[in-house]
Chain A
Amino acid sequence: MTTAAGRMHSAARADVLDVERVRADFPALHQTVHGQPLVYLDNAATTQKPRQVIEALDRYYRSDNANVHRGVHALSERATAAYEAAREKVREFLNAQSAQEIVFVRGTTEAINLVAQSWGRTNLRPDDEVVITETEHHSNIVPWQMLCGQTGAQLRVVPVEDNGVLSAERYAQILGRRTRLVAVAHCSNALGTINPVKRMISQAHEVGALVMVDGAQAVAHLSVDVRDLDCDFYAFSGHKLYGPTGIGVLYAKRALLQEMPPYQGGGEMVKHVSFDRTSYLDPPLRFEAGTPDIAGAIGLGAAIDYVDALGSEAIGRHERELLMQATAAISRIPGLRIIGTAPEKTGILSFVLDGVHAHDVGTILDMQGVAVRVGHHCAMPVMQRYGVPATARASFALYNTREEVDALVAGIYRAKEVFG
């Protein structure tokens, strides 16, 4: 919190987010729920979509719809150009060296499974080690467990401290000559912690291990530079970045992708097919079997344009202000415990309330129009670590306001009153 506050005061205030103008772009925000204005604070699950994204999808289906990379007709050329332009936007967004390092997938989960099954099954041997952390989302645990089951490799888990910060000491101890891959979230979805991935990557590289970063909770909130991080793989989902569902990205260093076998077989990923032998295209198309989510990729491109125009600095500053306001206000609520108090956090606030189950908190907030996530957040080991069955989680996005934080706080007081 101190760091965030320091940054806020020293930063130029010129490019402050005009939240009212931004909100006008998001049609879904302007509705009532149970007779109350919607306060959407479930952004870590998925964000709402600006009209620029909705219109890009609409425009594509109305005028350019065709399959990509195979037609000679005008519509196919337009669709292909738009699809590849979206890939270039993602490259620039992540500061990747080449658009050939950008593979379109369904989402973060598919990106991780792709790496596990393609790179992992080719390269892991019995007694090799895959290192994950105690705070990972199930999507960054289960694919590695499956891979370990298939290859005989071992899973090692870096524990987390009480405040939600990964144990740097244990990480350094766990890394060793057996470590082949480290898979870590850039930001924890349940706790909000921003992990020191740049340092973790350089430590892993020192022992010769590769690093896969799960960026699902990061890309909408902070600027990501894969070359600066020097990560080997980076994954994110479009729908948490104001884009459509069903589209996501795997970034991988080109040299790695070149050596990786296909993940799925089918059309679009082959050079030549006969019944004796099939040869595959170069990346990224080698990893995009079948007709891709063309509209989704184009919509994601529009989402990237949208956040780029606002600027990640301005977005990050706005969300940090909301997080600070909310943290200060809910910390004063008797019987409330915040789960995840790392000094470096994105706008995620997980909490439990004495004597009130998270599901009851969620229902009472919903009745007041406030949408939060309740449950284990697909991170059961995190819940076990903190000894809670479930938490309520409010998560902020660029369109949330101070008044919405007030509505959240009032809603929590209401829950206390009901269960008094």
Chain B
Amino acid sequence: MTADLRSLYEEVILDHNRNPRNFQYAPPGANHVAHGYNPLCGDEFTVSLRLENGVVTDIGFEGAGCAISTASASLMTEIVKGKTVEEARALFESVHGLLTSEGGAGPTGKLQALAGVREYPARVKCATLAWHTLQAALRKEQGTISTE
């Protein structure tokens, strides 16, 4: 793989695309659900979570998408589980900043794998779809979320 390709398709991304975590899974007793769909791409995810006392105690996602959107959704569910609503929102903001270079330190750890997407403007919407859908779920927004 060339250096450029590796910056986008990091090992973490490839791994989470190959074996997405919390995938095709809706937690029992899920009380927050939202639907995300990018019609031009065809990427489509439903994010379901169980919120108890302000904490995301379980989360999963269902649907289909490209490697970037799938890996981003998988990483998101892994990291958000056990976080408070406020912490989840802060993560959303930092991922958003990382992908759009709107500043901020950006997230640490595995989420740094998404940094390469910033160089591919056409693919940013793929990486952000699950995160916007999560935000909508936390806010109990109706309708379908899109990042296109």
Contacts and interface: CB of A to CB of B under 8 A. Distances in A.
The majority secondary structure among interface residues of chain A is helix
A414 B67 CA distance: 15
Contact of B40 (A34, A356, A360, A375): A375
A418 B5 CA distance: 9
B8 interface: yes
A356 B4 CA distance: 18
- Give the interface size bracket for A toward B: 10 to 19
Contact of B120 (A357, A363, A390, A418): A363
B83 interface: no
Given A357-B65, A359-B123, A419-B14, A367 B42 contact: no
Nearest to A34: B4
Contact of B42 (A360, A375, A419): A375
Contacts of B123: 359, 363
Given A375-B42, A389-B42, A390-B42, A417 B1 contact: yes
B53 interface: no
Interface string A354-398: 001111100110010000000110000001000001100000000
B108 interface: no
A419 B101 CA distance: 27
A376 B120 CA distance: 20
A359 B9 contact: no
Nearest to B126: A359
B67 A357 contact: yes
B102 to A, nearest CB: 23
Given A34-B4, A383-B42, A360 B68 contact: yes
A360 B66 contact: yes
A339 to B, nearest CB: 14
Contact of A376 (B1, B5, B42, B64): B42
Interface residues of B, number: 24
Contacts of B126: 359
Nearest to B8: A363
Nearest to B17: A419
Interface string B31-44: 00000000011111
Interface string B14-51: 10011000000000000000000000111110000000
A156 to B, nearest CB: 25
A33 B66 CA distance: 23
A234 B42 CA distance: 31
A360 B2 contact: no
B2 A390 contact: no
Contact of B41 (A356, A359, A419): A359
B2 A367 contact: yes
Interface in B80-118: none
Contacts of A417: 1
B9 A418 contact: yes
A417 B1 CA distance: 8
Contacts of A357: 65-67, 70
Contact of A418 (B14, B64, B66): B14
Contacts of A389: 41-44, 64
Contacts of B67: 356-357, 360, 419
B3 to A, nearest CB: 10
Contact of B66 (A359, A376, A383, A414): A359
A2 B14 CA distance: 41
B45 to A, nearest CB: 12
A367 B6 CA distance: 11
Interface string A6-42: 0000000000000000000000000000100000000
Given A357-B66, A358-B66, A383-B42, 4 more contacts: A356-B67, A357-B65, A359-B66, A376-B40
14 contacts: A357-B66, A359-B66, A359-B68, A360-B9, A360-B67, A363-B122, A364-B5, A376-B42, A389-B43, A414-B1, A418-B9, A419-B9, A419-B17, A419-B18
* 9 nearest CB pairs, A to B: A389-B42, A357-B66, A359-B66, A390-B42, A360-B67, A360-B66, A367-B5, A418-B9, A367-B4
